[in-house]
Amino acid sequence: MHKMELSGPQLQKMTKLIFNPYSGNRKQSAEQLMEVESGLQQSGSLFETYFTEPDGNLGEMIHDAFIRGIRRFTVCGGDGTVSSVARELNGYGAILNIIPKGTQNNIAYSLKIPFDLDSAMRLSNSGQAETVDIGLLTSGKKYFSFLEVCSIGLISSVFSSADAIQHGNFLRISDFISKLAKTKPAQFHMLVDDKYQLNGTAYCIVVSSMPYIFRHYEVGPAHAYRDGLLDVSVFTDMTKLDLAGCAIKINSLEDERIQRFCSKKIELDTFPDLPVMADGVDLDLGHIKIEAQRSSFQVITGYK
């Protein structure tokens, strides 16, 4: 889309609309785009639309928009799109509007953002702008920030195939069963807040900054998105099928087989190395450190 040349007062009303045509029901994307753009026009906002692509460069686009004076970004997509935009926005003093268009929409669910486009558009004009927590993962010399969740172990192994099955791709069932059968529990050593040590054996460890992950699976209190803490869940006494089910079904906090606690920082080693995934992105194996940080940007939420 052609870039607008805008003055200072106009830039205050300007938003960069980031639209993922592949999120959710693709057949409805054209209609959803028209509805979102119409909502922006009715609110008096000027906007430029950017369509996400697998080989697109979100970071370059956001940097360019910020250099030009744009401070408001509206993302219409699922959790993967939202977390990707948030990761690139961190470091900028911007405002992020979320218009959920995905399958699970955990981030929107955690922030009380309605799922229907019309209500979400109204909230973007009247909601409260809040600074949220992000997780910063360090693996060797590499850094990766996540908005929703980092999983280490079984759920990381089976998540992509489980997610594909949920989207109707039943050809991935054999892949799901194969990875489920091959995964074994691992010994782990965890250092919590530079003070406490936790050792044991587990199939999976999950570290989250949002109260809901996977398929609206509750892992923390409602205010978890802004409490400055990581919610850590250690799955020790569950069967593999029960654990895999956590990734694809709704569940609650009440499960005595899961060790749960909050911390500002953890350091983790597993033996053998377990797969690591953060916000749907596969990361390097080995020693990792995860810290809770405050985002530089603000998000419009449905909380009063």
End-to-end CA distance of the chain: 36
The distance of Cα 64 from the centroid of its chain, to the nearest Å, equals 23
pLDDT at 139: 85
Is CATH 3.40.50.2300 the right assignment for the domain spanning 8-126? Answer: no
The distance of Cα 235 from the centroid of its chain, to the nearest Å, equals 21
pLDDT at 285: 80
pTM reported for the whole predicted model: 0.86
Among candidates 257, 293, 244, which has minimal Cα distance to 134?
293
pLDDT at 185: 80
Task: Identify the segments of the chain with pLDDT beneath 70.
Answer: 1-12, 154-183, 237-254
**DSSP secondary structure letters along 104-146:** S-HHHHHTT--SSHHHHHHHHHHSEEEEEEEEEEEETTEEEEE
Q: What angle do CA 152, 252, 300 make, to 5 degrees?
A: 80
pLDDT at 10: 54
What is the C-alpha to C-alpha distance for residues 92 and 64, in angstroms, rounded to an integer?
12
What is the C-alpha to C-alpha distance for residues 257 and 64, in angstroms, rounded to an integer?
48
What is the C-alpha to C-alpha distance for residues 204 and 187, in angstroms, rounded to an integer?
10
What is the C-alpha to C-alpha distance for residues 124 and 301, in angstroms, rounded to an integer?
8
pLDDT at 2: 45
CB neighbour list of residue 303: distance below 8 Å, 6 or more residues apart: 111, 112, 128, 130
Place of tokens 């929409």: 105
Alpha helices for 143-301 (secondary structure H):
154-166, 173-182, 240-248
What is the C-alpha to C-alpha distance for residues 15 and 88, in angstroms, rounded to an integer?
16
**CB-based contact 23:102 (threshold 8 Å):** yes
What is the C-alpha to C-alpha distance for residues 209 and 188, in angstroms, rounded to an integer?
21
**CB-based contact 246:217 (threshold 8 Å):** yes
Place of tokens 């909380």: 303
SS3 content of the chain, % helix, strand, coil (to 5): 30, 35, 30
pLDDT at 211: 94
- The partner residues of 277 in beta bridges, in order of sequence, read 151, 282
CATH of span 136-294: 2.60.200.40
**CB-based contact 231:264 (threshold 8 Å):** no
Residue spans per domain, the chain: 8-126, 136-294
pLDDT at 275: 86
